[in-house]
């Protein structure tokens, strides 16, 4: 992918053909120095709920490739240390909450009590009641909605909460001098929740958020909304000569018709735009010349759970890409970490069948485990506590083609202050 990794020099790693798996094993074994190991030769059965078809199929494809790799690596380790097998039974949710519940019930019927997934917030919410009532642990590599952060439930999550995404994007806005934002968002739970956090965080940083516009998830015609947004931008720029206005967008595939419509309104082309993880590296933008040209003009900068900068991350990312024939997002790499985390926990707990012991030990293992995506430590709600980044992606154009390139990173590593890095732009 052109532009991948350009200009980023603040992290370093070690090079080795199999270093990703070796690192997980090394740290995991250190974590298990105290707890008793399961008997040699033990077979461990885990489940996985992935969207192999439907709107999230690309994410499901790369997550499955990551789990297949993890299964092979874990079994290679077991073979070298006395035998045994670990297996991940994958069920297709199609990104549908109701289907996710049915597939979870199917896994439970096979005696599986530890499941990687589901992928989305809506699926995780739908599955949680059954999981809680039937003593099933869910470890989602990609759910990030703040509304699912609850103490004591059976959902654990390895992606940073969307509250951190809001923190990252507002930090970039303020760093770039924005003083006023107009939100434009999809009125589903994701858009509503994320926009609330963005507005609150921007206010904390000394900025101002104006009404903007909320649209219904089934809306197809955005002309009236864009006319109103253009009026709001024009009014602010006339009334406040020193204000730097920006548009903040939270949503998904509706971004393409919105960008095309906005390109016909000079007021909306005169201010910068910021997006969300739903627009980061969203190829339908790049494949539509009109929306791509406008996204470049307004420098639409969108945050996404950041890629690891060390070579250990790049190696596992490359393996997933080669297996799936698709560039993986960081949440798919987190699925690889999730597999190792549940394996090490089962080893420490004497198997995956003792629900209470497994649930108690999972946070302890994650506290002492450094995976491909970093330290897996969890907070009191079972969510990723720290050691996460957000990369900002913008469109570039060269040789007649549009491509995505990193423009900035909001970085948070254990024991350090959060930092915002702007790309050097060096090739």
Would you call 184 helix, strand, or coil by DSSP? Answer: strand
Same fold, 21-161+309-386 and 163-306+389-422: yes
Pairing of strands 137-140, 180-186: unpaired
pLDDT at 3: 35
The 10 Å Cβ neighbour count of residue 154 is 23
- Residue 348, CA distances (Å) to 48, 155, 168, 287, 396 in order: 21, 20, 36, 48, 48
What is the model's pTM?
A: 0.87
Decide which of 418 and 286 is more confident.
286
Percent of the chain with pLDDT over 70: 89
CB 184 within 8 A of CB 249: yes
Class of domain 163-306+389-422: alpha beta
3-state secondary structure 291-350: HHHHHHHCCCEEEEECCCCCHHHHHHHHHHHHHHCCCCCHHHHHHHHHHHHHHHHHHHHC
Q: How far apart are the first and last CA of the chain?
A: 13
What mean pLDDT do residues 318-336 have? 94
Identify the top-confidence range among 7-16, 26-35, 324-333. Answer: 324-333
Looking at 220-234, 277-291, 405-419, which range is the least confident one? 405-419
Task: Report the mean per-residue pLDDT for the chain.
Answer: 89
Burial bucket for residue 10 (CB in 10 Å: 0-12, 13-18, 19+): exposed
Q: Give the domain ranges of the chain.
A: 21-161+309-386, 163-306+389-422
Residue 332 has pLDDT above 50, yes or no: yes
d(CA 318, CA 82) in angstroms, rounded, equals 29
Confidence at 55, pLDDT banded by 50, 70, 90: confident
pLDDT at 387: 81
Q: What is the pLDDT of residues 198-222, one digit of tens each?
A: 999 999 999 999 999 999 999 999 9
Q: What is the pLDDT of residues 352-391, one digit of tens each?
A: 888 999 999 999 999 999 999 999 999 999 999 988 899 9
Residue 158 zone, left/alpha/beta (φ > 0; ψ -120 to 50; rest): alpha
Confidence at 40, pLDDT banded by 50, 70, 90: low
Residue 31 has pLDDT above 60, yes or no: no
Would you call 190 helix, strand, or coil by DSSP? Answer: helix
What mean pLDDT do residues 116-130 have? 97
d(CA 66, CA 90) in angstroms, rounded, equals 12
pLDDT at 204: 96
Would you call 384 helix, strand, or coil by DSSP? Answer: strand
What mean pLDDT do residues 172-184 have? 97
CB 90 within 8 A of CB 359: no
CATH code given to domain 21-161+309-386: 3.40.50.2300
């Amino acid at each position: 992918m052109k532009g991948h990794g350009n200009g980023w020099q603040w992290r370093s790693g070690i090079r080795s053909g199999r270093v990703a798996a070796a690192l997980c094993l090394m740290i995991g074994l250190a974590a298990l120095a105290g707890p008793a190991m399961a008997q040699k030769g033990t077979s461990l059965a885990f489940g996985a709920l992935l969207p192999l078809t439907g709107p999230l199929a690309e994410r499901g494809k790369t997550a499955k490739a990551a789990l297949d790799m993890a299964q092979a690596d874990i079994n290679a380790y077991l073979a070298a240390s006395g035998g045994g097998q670990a297996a991940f039974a994958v069920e297709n949710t199609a990104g549908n909450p109701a289907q996710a519940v049915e597939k979870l019930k199917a896994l439970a019927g096979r005696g599986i009590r530890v499941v990687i997934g589901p992928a989305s917030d809506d699926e995780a919410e739908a599955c949680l009641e059954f999981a809680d009532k039937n003593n099933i642990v869910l470890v989602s590599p990609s759910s990030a909605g703040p509304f699912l952060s609850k103490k004591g439930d059976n959902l654990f999550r390895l992606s940073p909460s969307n509250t951190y995404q809001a923190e990252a994007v507002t930090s970039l806005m303020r760093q770039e001098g924005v003083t006023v934002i107009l939100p434009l968002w999809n009125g589903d739970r994701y858009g509503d929740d994320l926009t609330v956090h963005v507005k609150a965080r921007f206010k904390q940083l000394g900025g101002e958020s104006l009404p903007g516009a909320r649209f219904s998830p089934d809306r197809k015609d955005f002309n009236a909304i864009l006319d109103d947004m253009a009026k709001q931008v024009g009014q602010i720029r006339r009334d406040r000569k020193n204000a730097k206005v920006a548009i903040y967008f939270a949503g998904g595939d509706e971004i393409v018709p919105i960008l095309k419509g906005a390109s016909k309104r000079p007021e909306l082309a005169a201010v910068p735009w910021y997006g969300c993880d739903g627009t980061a590296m969203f190829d339908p933008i790049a494949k539509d010349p009109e929306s791509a040209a406008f996204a470049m003009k307004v420098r639409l900068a969108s945050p996404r759970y950041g890629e690891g900068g060390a070579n250990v991350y790049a190696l596992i990312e490359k393996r997933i890409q080669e297996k799936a024939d698709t560039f993986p997002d960081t949440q798919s790499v987190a699925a690889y970490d999730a597999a190792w985390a549940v394996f090490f926990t089962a080893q420490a707990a004497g198997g995956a069948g003792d629900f209470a012991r497994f649930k108690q030990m999972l946070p302890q293992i994650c506290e002492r485990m450094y995976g491909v995506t970093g330290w897996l430590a969890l907070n009191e709600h079972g969510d990723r506590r720290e050691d996460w980044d957000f990369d900002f992606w913008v469109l570039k154009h060269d040789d007649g083609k549009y491509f995505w390139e990193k423009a900035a990173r909001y970085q948070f590593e254990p024991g350090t202050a959060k930092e915002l890095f702007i790309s050097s732009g060096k090739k």
